[in-house]
C-alpha cells in the first residue's frame, strides 16, 4: 500500500465505521483464542489492531513493511518492526497469536506468507486472518490499495491449508452493505478510504454493527474472516 494511503488510513481509523467495527470484530474474536500471550500484528499500518491486542492483555508486536506505516505505529507508542511477511525475522514457535487483517491479498506468494504465520506460531497457536472477497467486486479501489486478488471461500481455504494451518472457523463479513459496496465500486476511480460526515458514518456504523446479531455469516459479503490454528 502506498505511503499516502497508509497515512490516510491512520487518520481515519479511529472514527471511520469500517475500521471501528473491524476493531470490535477483533476484540470479539479474541474471546475464542484463549488466554493472552505474545501476538504478532502483521501489516499493522498505524497500529489500530495492535492497540486492541494491547488493550485486551496481549503482548503485541506490530510488523509493518512500509516505512510510513512503521513510523505511525512508533509515534503511537507501539513496539514495531519493519519486515516482509514472507520472511518474518522471528523465531519459530515464538508467538501465541498472529493477526493478519487485509494483508495476504497484497502478496503474490500468499501461501509463503501464511506458511510463515504457521512457522512463528507455537503448536496450538492461532491465527486470525481477514481478506477482501469476490473478484466480482474488483475495482479501481483494489488497484489503488495494491491488491493482487480478492478471495473466494475456496481459494482462501486452499491458501491457508497449503500453508499448514487448520481452519477452525470461516465466515463472511460486511454482508448487509455488500450491495452498496458493489454499486460504489463500479463508479470508483481510486481508493474509497474517505472521510465521511457524521450522519453517514453513524448510519453505516449502525448497519454494520447489526451483523453481530443476524445469521448472515454464510452469505456473500465484502470480506472473509477466518480463525485457524497450527496443529500440534
Kindly tell me if the per-residue pLDDT of 115 is higher than 60.
Answer: yes
Q: What's the domain count of the chain?
A: 1
Q: What is the mean pLDDT of the chain?
A: 91
Dihedrals φ, ψ of 156, to 5°?
Answer: -70, -45
Dihedrals φ, ψ of 138, to 5°?
Answer: -60, 135
Q: How sure is the predictor about 133, in pLDDT bands with cuts at 50, 70 and 90?
A: very high
Q: Which domain holds residue 38?
A: 3-229
Percent of the chain with pLDDT over 70: 92
The model's pLDDT over 148-178, given as tens digits with 9 standing for 90+, comes to 999 999 999 999 999 999 999 999 999 999 9
Measure the CA–CA gap between 33 and 52, rounded to whole angstroms. 14
15 vs 27, which has greater pLDDT? 27
Report pLDDT for 2: 54
Question: What is the rounded average pLDDT of the residues 195-224?
Answer: 91
- Here the CATH number for the domain that contains residue 217 is 3.40.50.150
Helix (H, G, I), strand (E, B) or coil at 94: coil
Report pLDDT for 5: 63
Crossing angle of helices 3-12 and 67-75, in 10° steps, is 30
Q: How sure is the predictor about 84, in pLDDT bands with cuts at 50, 70 and 90?
A: very high
Amino acid at each position: 500500500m502506498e505511503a499516502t494511503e497508509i497515512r490516510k488510513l491512520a487518520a481515519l481509523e479511529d472514527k471511520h465505521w469500517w475500521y471501528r467495527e473491524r476493531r470490535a470484530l477483533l476484540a470479539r474474536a479474541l474471546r475464542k483464542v484463549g488466554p493472552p500471550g505474545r501476538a504478532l500484528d502483521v501489516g499493522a499500518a498505524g497500529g489500530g489492531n495492535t492497540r486492541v491486542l494491547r488493550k485486551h492483555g496481549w503482548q503485541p508486536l506490530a510488523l509493518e513493511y512500509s516505512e510510513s506505516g512503521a513510523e505511525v505505529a512508533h509515534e503511537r507508542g507501539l513496539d514495531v518492526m519493519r519486515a516482509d511477511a514472507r520472511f518474518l525475522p522471528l523465531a519459530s514457535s515464538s508467538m501465541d497469536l498472529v493477526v493478519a487483517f487485509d494483508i495476504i491479498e497484497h502478496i503474490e506468494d500468499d501461501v509463503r506468507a501464511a506458511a510463515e504465520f504457521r512457522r512463528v506460531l507455537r503448536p496450538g497457536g492461532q491465527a486470525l486472518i481477514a481478506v477482501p472477497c469476490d473478484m466480482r467486486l474488483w475495482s479501481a479501489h483494489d488497484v489503488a490499495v495494491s491488491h493482487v486478488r480478492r478471495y473466494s471461500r475456496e481459494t482462501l481455504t486452499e491458501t491457508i491449508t497449503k500453508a499448514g494451518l487448520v481452519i477452525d472457523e470461516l465466515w463472511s463479513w460486511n454482508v448487509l452493505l455488500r450491495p452498496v459496496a458493489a454499486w460504489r465500486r463500479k463508479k470508483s476511480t481510486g481508493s474509497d478510504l474517505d472521510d465521511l460526515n457524521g450522519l453517514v458514518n453513524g448510519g453505516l456504523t449502525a448497519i454494520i454493527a447489526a451483523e453481530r446479531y443476524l445469521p448472515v455469516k454464510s452469505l456473500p459479503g465484502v470480506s472473509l474472516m477466518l480463525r485457524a490454528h497450527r496443529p500440534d
